[in-house]
């Protein structure tokens, strides 16, 4: 199956950011992948987990158990403990979260100090609601930086006409 240009751009961003993250961690760490549902039977830990498997203990999280995740939780109102993980990966999810402004606060709390977050949202993409969740948001690069600016440093971005993708570092 051929990936859409949006999915190709998303993958390029995650590959680029994974290189930075893997370079900065030498021993096994704890990572959290939000929305493992897109991986299906291919990889229940998330479609990009192969980029982190050698250095990270991978935990998947989703809003619905039907996706086969390790943890059922809402990232905008998470019950996960403080300083839970070193890396947080959320790809093509943010557009579906009604309380988008609560997401940075929860990621900040869940991430360990100096932890990394890969956040990706489509920019130019067809309307795609699902029965379980709406399709609400698109963010420009300025919008993404504004949303995360008080809690994170933007380390890098990979923004195209299709995606707004960022690598953030937690500032605690």
Interval 49-106: pLDDT, tens: 788 777 788 888 888 887 778 889 999 999 999 999 999 999 989 999 999 999 999 9
Residue 42: per-residue pLDDT = 53
Beta strands per DSSP E along the chain: 29-34, 56-62, 71-72, 85-91, 111-122, 152-159, 163-170
pTM: 0.91
Per-residue pLDDT tens for 5-48?
A: 988 999 999 999 999 998 988 776 778 777 655 444 555 566 78
Between 149 and 65, the more confident residue is: 149
Question: At 36, is the secondary structure helix, strand, or coil?
Answer: helix
């Amino acid at each position: 199956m051929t990936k859409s240009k949006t999915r190709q751009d998303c993958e390029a961003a995650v590959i680029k950011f994974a290189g930075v993250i893997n370079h900065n961690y030498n021993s096994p760490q704890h990572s959290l992948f939000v929305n493992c549902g897109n991986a299906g039977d291919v990889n229940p830990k998330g479609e990009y987990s192969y980029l982190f498997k050698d250095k990270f203990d991978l935990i998947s999280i989703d809003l619905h158990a039907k996706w086969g995740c390790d943890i059922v939780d809402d990232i905008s109102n998470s019950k996960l403990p403080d300083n839970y993980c070193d890396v947080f990966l959320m790809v093509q999810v943010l557009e579906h979260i009604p309380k988008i402004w609560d997401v940075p606060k929860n990621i900040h709390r869940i991430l360990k100090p100096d932890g990394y977050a890969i956040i990706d949202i489509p920019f130019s993409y067809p309307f795609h609601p699902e029965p379980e969740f709406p399709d609400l948001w698109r963010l420009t690069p300025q919008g993404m930086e504004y949303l995360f600016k008080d809690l994170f440093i933007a380390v890098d971005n990979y923004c195209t006409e299709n995606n707004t993708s960022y690598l953030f570092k937690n500032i605690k």
